[in-house]
Amino acid sequence: MTSRVALNEVDGVEIISLADNTVDFLSTFEKKEVQQVREWIKNCMGEEWVKKHFRLPFAEHGFSMLIKVFSNDSSHSILFDTGVSREGVVTNVKGMGLNLGEVECIVLSHGHYDHFGGLVKVLKVVDKKNLPIIVHEDMFKIRGAVTPDGTVREYPKFPSENQVAPAKYVKTRQPYLLADDSILVTGEIPRKTDSEKGFPRQRVFSDGKWQPDPWVWDDRAIVINVKSKGLVIISGCAHAGIVNTVLYGQQITGVEQVYAVMGGFHLAGKDCEPRIGHTVKMLRKSNPKILVPMHCTGWKGKYAIFEAMPEAFVWNSVGNLYRL
């Protein structure tokens, strides 16, 4: 049994969506915790700067979040995943007037290309020697997915250590604390639910052949504990299952109260859509105040979550800013 992790509380957290499957610059928000980053930048830089320099971000089938925590008059910034394309995240960052130079660490949720595609370009922009990149050793496997005709579509390979130098990979399977112990990388997430079966179509090339590898053990999440509010849980794809992810976050921190759950919930596709009902039921039990299904959740999953928990639901757009 994994022992509890001493995760420090933070006074607040800011989360900016840098890559996701959708953009929506017209809809309004019902929650004070959510706004478009354009409005925030306008308050910081002035309307004239926005008119001259701000560029609306674009969407892609990928995921990336810029996360900044605040505590005791200090702050720490990390980047969680880097999208699917080489240039997407850095283009959106530049267009929105954001600064990746504050990033102290990059965390990769798992080794699928729609989460590491922009890594090499991002590292050039951050430009820090020995910048830690938190990974799991399984991310370096040769991976693919079986197609309906039985062939395997090989995925783009994970960047080698030479490709990311002078940054450094930090390989861990266990829970890992960052930012003065105020940000937790969960490590491997135990699979306890009956409905969350990983990614059945995944294959790994080993011993000269493609072999089933459904569990995606390298799938991890970020957990932050906001003072007087509870846990903020951010998943990249939740191949471990978003219910398993939330339960494990509660278990290893010893904190029951869940404030926000956001990220990819992987409820899209024939393999995953049958578990939408159970997932929604379990998310209602955890009773988050903010619920932001993104990326691979799929429209059916998002719609079911909205119907069940409209007061918590937020439709994400690239460029959304969450101030919790």
Task: Give the angle 84-87-92 at the CA atoms, nearest 5°.
Answer: 95
| pLDDT at residue 3, rounded to an integer | 82
142-181 tens-digit pLDDT: 999 999 999 999 999 999 999 999 999 999 999 999 999 9
Confidence of residue 1 (pLDDT cuts 50, 70, 90): low
Burial tier of 322 (Cβ tally within 10 Å: 0-12, 13-18, 19+): buried
178 φ/ψ sector (left φ>0, alpha ψ -120 to 50, else beta): beta
What's the mean pLDDT when you consider all of the chain? 97
Each residue of 24-43: pLDDT tens digit? 999 999 999 999 999 999 99
265-301 residue pLDDT tens = 999 999 999 999 999 999 999 999 999 999 999 999 9
| CATH code, 9-323 | 3.60.15.10
Residue 207 CB-half CA count within 13 A: 2
